Structure 1
Amino acid sequence: MLFTKGDVPSVAAVLRTLTSFCDWSGLLANPDKTYIYFGGVANDVKHQILLLTGFSEGTFAFIYLGVPLHSSRNSFDTYGTLIHKIQTHLHHWTTKFFSFAGRAQLLNSVIFGLTNFWCATVLLPKKIVKIINKLCKDFFWNQEDGHRKLVFKSWSDIYSPWNEGGIDIKELLS
């Protein structure tokens, strides 16, 4: 993804850089797979840029590296992809027999890594973070359909670091 000011000289400078990169590496942008997205650019300037580049104009919303990108504020439904991915991982793991340390490692490395990747791109609403925390909590305690199992530590102790007697799970939102 490349960003530039929405005028012809700026786009021409980016094209020169891409051409230089192509000469050096042998890699070329595929015009059939490359799109330009505009925001606040006049129609005549858009037309000039599209003619200059030979690329097509893309439309929002689209998915980039698994994260939906929009030109406006994201709705609650936008985050359904993230929730679904997390639920799929957790559902798959519930069929396995993991220790508490194994569950903690999966949550810290996979689920929170996935969530942090999304957070690097979009700001997650508190409601979504609370849903993710609940899913992780239910997975950790092996709860299904709201049926509570025997718990040996409080959830706040679980979030504590190892040296304080916790399992060092990172909390997304306190």
Structure 2
Amino acid sequence: MLVDKLVCRIRTWGTRNLSYTGRTQLVNSILLQVHTYWSSIFLLPKKVLKSSTTVCRNFLWSGQENTSRSPLIAWEKVCRSKKEGGLGIMDCMIWNEAAIAKYVWNIAKKTDNLW
């Protein structure tokens, strides 16, 4: 479901000629925010996380959800902060773990909000 939502968004943008900078902005502001919403609620399966990372990576490099082109830079380097030489794109797997850890922390501290 999550991957389908990402692919649906990419298909609407696929007809436009976007630069790497434009695609980077769309990945950061739209695609990863959809992922952030779902990962803050559920512990997502690894397969879903890998698929969403693959969709974001393919869109960044080619503007399509599927591509046969090899990436220009390793995804780990792209996910670094801008100060470290990356593009500042959030790593989906790390974000999912951090969001769930936040809920565990809130429950351990006995705060009144479970949402």
**TM-score of the superposed pair, with normalisation by structure 2:** 0.70
Is 1:124 the counterpart of 2:62 in the alignment?
Answer: no
Change over 3 Å in CA distance of 1:154–1:162 after alignment to 2: same
Checking the alignment, whether the CA contact within 8 Å between 1:101 and 1:167 is kept in structure 2 is: no
Amino acid at match of 1:132: S
Counterparts of 1:151-166 in structure 2, within 5 Å, are 151-166=71-86
Change over 3 Å in CA distance of 1:92–1:171 after alignment to 2: same
| Structure 2 residue aligned with 1:139 | 59
Displacement of 1:103 after TM fit? Answer: 1.1
Displacement of 1:88 after TM fit? Answer: 0.5
- Unaligned ranges ≥5, structure 1: 1-79
- Unaligned ranges ≥5, structure 2: 95-115
Q: Distance in 1 between matches of 2:26 and 2:63?
A: 16
Is 1:95 the counterpart of 2:29 in the alignment?
Answer: no
Q: Distance in 2 between matches of 1:130 and 1:91?
A: 19
- Identify the structure with the greater strand proportion: 1
Displacement of 1:105 after TM fit? Answer: 1.2
Displacement of 1:121 after TM fit? Answer: 2.2
Q: Distance in 2 between matches of 1:156 and 1:83?
A: 20
Report SS of the residue matched to 1:140: helix
Query: Highest Rg: 1 or 2?
Result: 1
Identity rate of aligned residues, in percent? 29
Counterparts of 1:75-94 in structure 2, within 5 Å, are 80=1, 82-94=2-14
Is 1:112 the counterpart of 2:32 in the alignment?
Answer: yes
The count of residues paired between Structure 1 and Structure 2 equals 93
Amino acid at match of 2:39: C
Q: Distance in 2 between matches of 1:152 and 1:115?
A: 24
Counterparts of 1:5-16 in structure 2, within 5 Å, are none
Deviations 1:76-97 (A, max 9, x none): xxxx2x2211110112212112
Deviations 1:117-170 (A, max 9, x none): 112222211110100000111111116554216x44332221121122211111
| Structure 1 residue aligned with 2:107 | none
Q: Distance in 2 between matches of 1:128 and 1:146?
A: 18
Report SS of the residue matched to 1:135: helix
Displacement of 1:108 after TM fit? Answer: 1.2
| Structure 2 residue aligned with 1:169 | 89
Change over 3 Å in CA distance of 1:162–1:170 after alignment to 2: same
